[in-house]
Amino acid sequence: MEFRHSSVMLFEAVDGLNIRPEGTYLDGTLGGGGHSEQILLRLSDKGHLYGIDKDEDAIRAASERLSIFGDRFTAIRGDYGDYEELLRPYGAGQLDGILLDLGVSSFQLDTAERGFSYRFDAPLDMRMDRRQEKTVRDIVNTYSEEELASVLFRYGEEPYAKNIARAIVRAREKEPVETTLELSAIISQAVPAKVRSKGGHPAKQSFQALRIEVNGELETLKNTLSGMIDRLAPKGRLAVISFHSLEDRIVKQTMRDAENPCICPPDFPVCVCGRKPKGKTVGRKPVVPSAQELEDNPRAKSAKLRIFEHI
């Protein structure tokens, strides 16, 4: 299957990086290479882009797509959370810009055997990096009822998390839950009929939560963003596209803390903690997709773009 993915807010994100033709850039979520291609088109022969992705299909597709740019582009398989270690062999110093396009790609959702979607019958998987041992099957069949409910509520904001967790545990007592359609059916039966009749698939939020849990998505984001800001060159920019309220909250708070890191009590007349601002958020509100983009790509509906510029 060809790796297809519509890059959300393609020009808004790349424009937001304020590309320097001779600069060094990092696309931490390479995907199909759409954002990377636009960055490379704006770089001179002296510029360079590193692209990281833990999905081998993404690395293969993007490497082929971006091969026309020769040695200006380097594809690296791995988790963007490990970017320092991954970039070290290449001697990359300060970065003029970093882009993160979070969440799951259209290719991953539409490739049945990857197990990301409740629309296809497939083994419960959802690993973005298939070298990883832990799958969603392991979570569904080994987590306690309380742990399952917590994951579904925290990461999926699922109001019927306890009902669904209880139904999963009861089902697996008979036999392990193995496939996406089995899990989808269990979830559907666990929510009230009036909810099922409202439109929208009742398993959507639960599948999202399980995907976030198995891939450690929020932990990686939380543990990485501040260091990425520190890695930026003067006037370098970090652009992050999020699709989930919890992701956006982490991005917003990290950028706010970098802009105003002072921890002195508000009644202190002067700052004594010595923490200096690292830069500023570009724009007070996040950028959202245009009406035309939403018409062309409904999956962009929840996307928000935030940009931070280093001092």
Q: Which of 182, 215, 248 is the last residue of a domain?
A: 215
Could you tell me if 225 and 97 lie in one domain?
yes
Q: Is residue 108 part of a domain?
A: no
pLDDT of residue 195: 81
pLDDT of residue 4: 53
CATH number at residue 25: 3.40.50.150
Total number of domains in the chain: 2
Q: Is residue 114 part of a domain?
A: no
Compute mean pLDDT per 10 residues along the chain, 311 residues long, and list them: 71 98 98 96 98 95 97 98 98 97 87 92 96 98 98 96 98 98 96 82 95 97 98 98 96 96 90 94 95 93 97 95
pLDDT of residue 5: 57
Could you tell me if 222 and 92 lie in one domain?
yes
301's tokens: 């509906």
Could you tell me if 32 and 88 lie in one domain?
yes
CA-closest candidate to residue 33, choices 61, 12, 9, 67: 61
Angstrom distance (rounded) from CA 74 to CA 79: 15
Burial class (CB in 10 A: 0-12, 13-18, 19+), 75: buried
Q: Is residue 142 part of a domain?
A: yes
- Strand segments, DSSP code E, in 198-258 are 232-242
Please write the tens of the pLDDT for every residue from 124-158: 999 999 999 999 999 999 999 999 999 999 999 99
- In order of 115, 240, 277, the CA distances from 281 in angstroms are 37, 12, 11
DSSP reduced 3-state for 275 = coil
